[in-house]
Amino acid sequence: MSLTSLMLKSIEYATPFVGLSRLSAKLTDAKLGKFTQFLIKNFISTFKINLDEVANSDINSYETFNDFFIRKLKEGARPIDTDCTAVFPTDGTIGQAGSITAGRLIQAKGIDYSLKSLLGGDPKDAHIFDSGIYSCIYLSPANYHRIHMPIDGTLKKTIHIPGRLFPVGQRNIRNISDLYTTNERLVAIFETAIGEFCIIMVGAALVGSIHTTWDGDCVRKEFLIKNYDNENIRFQKGEEIGYFKYGSTVICICKKNSAMLNNDIASGVPVYMGRKMLI
């Protein structure tokens, strides 16, 4: 571990990000009247939010900051590519994408992390996706924060892994090892036409909660596995499956030989929900 990495990790561990994130969640979910409108307008100005694509552009109608943060878009604002195997589940920027090699995924140049740890530690889950393909998408505060299904699929299992809430900005990604396997996350495994498909929603600093359409807000302290084999929870490509309250990361993983990454995908490239991810 480099000196920079050691210093950053020491600082991050000393900072109470979990407590700050819980406090942030309460404040951003509070109805604060004119102050809420001030926060929203300042946020729009700071991050240059395009109100033309927002379903409800009446700022005064939002009672809390998070009501606006998880805003819905107008129908058709994110066309769904119907000619590909899978689309990007959210807006954001590609962190890394490629093949899983020897059970490891790339976090940044010179830093990788364990597939088994990412998925919660069960070697059977890791075996399913070993040598498969992954795509890691970082969501900045400016991005649309609802998460959509990349491919038609049926929910089979979720794994909630408690952890830290370190920031997932570029400085930490490039310097702190095992960042994605240290932070809190929700792993969702779906059965699809190309086999098992995994979506990992990674928490981060100031993320009030990870929300799914089938289980609501994921605010837990314990490791928890839920099986959905008998519930027939199905989603179509492009259908909403959840959202983040504030920025974070989504990692998609598919099995070996099930599909290929679209050829224009590379680290640092901005992407939009519905755009071609797998061919």
- CA 197 from centroid of its chain's CA atoms: 15
- The yes-or-no answer on residue 148 being catalytic is yes
pLDDT tens, 154-187? Answer: 999 999 999 887 776 677 787 788 889 988 999 9
Indicate whether 209 pLDDT > 90: no
Q: Could you say which of 24, 135, 209, 248 is catalytic?
A: 248
Please, what is the average pLDDT of the chain? 88
Per the model's pLDDT, the better-predicted residue between 247 and 159 turns out to be: 159
Pairing state between β 146-148 and 216-218: unpaired
Residues 87, 111: contact at Cβ < 8 Å?
no
The stretch 25-49 carries a mean pLDDT of: 90
- Residue length, the chain? 279
- The yes-or-no answer on residue 91 being catalytic is yes
Q: Coil, strand, or helix at residue 32?
A: coil
- The yes-or-no answer on residue 248 being catalytic is yes
Domains of the chain, residue spans: 3-69, 86-278
Rounded Cα distance between 266 and 262, Å, is 9
Q: Could you say which of 145, 148, 160, 211 is catalytic?
A: 148
pTM assigned to the model: 0.88
- CA 29 from centroid of its chain's CA atoms: 20
Q: Which residues contact 83 (CB under 8 A, 6 or more apart)?
A: 276
Residues 161, 223: contact at Cβ < 8 Å?
yes
Predicted confidence at residue 19, as pLDDT, reads 47
Q: Could you say which of 24, 91, 135, 160 is catalytic?
A: 91
Indicate whether 17 pLDDT > 50: no
Indicate whether 11 pLDDT > 60: no
Predicted confidence at residue 123, as pLDDT, reads 97
Residue type for 51, please?
Answer: L
pLDDT tens, 92-150? Answer: 999 999 999 999 999 988 899 999 999 999 999 999 999 999 999 999 989 999 999 99
The stretch 210-228 carries a mean pLDDT of: 89
Which of 9-23, 157-171, 217-231, 242-256 is least confident?
9-23
Can you tell me which residue has the tokens 């998070």? 66
Q: Which residues contact 31 (CB under 8 A, 6 or more apart)?
A: 63, 64
151-167: b (≥16 Cβ within 10 Å) or e: bbbebbbbbbbebbbbb
Per the DSSP assignment, residues forming a β-bridge with 244 are 210
Indicate whether 29 pLDDT > 90: no
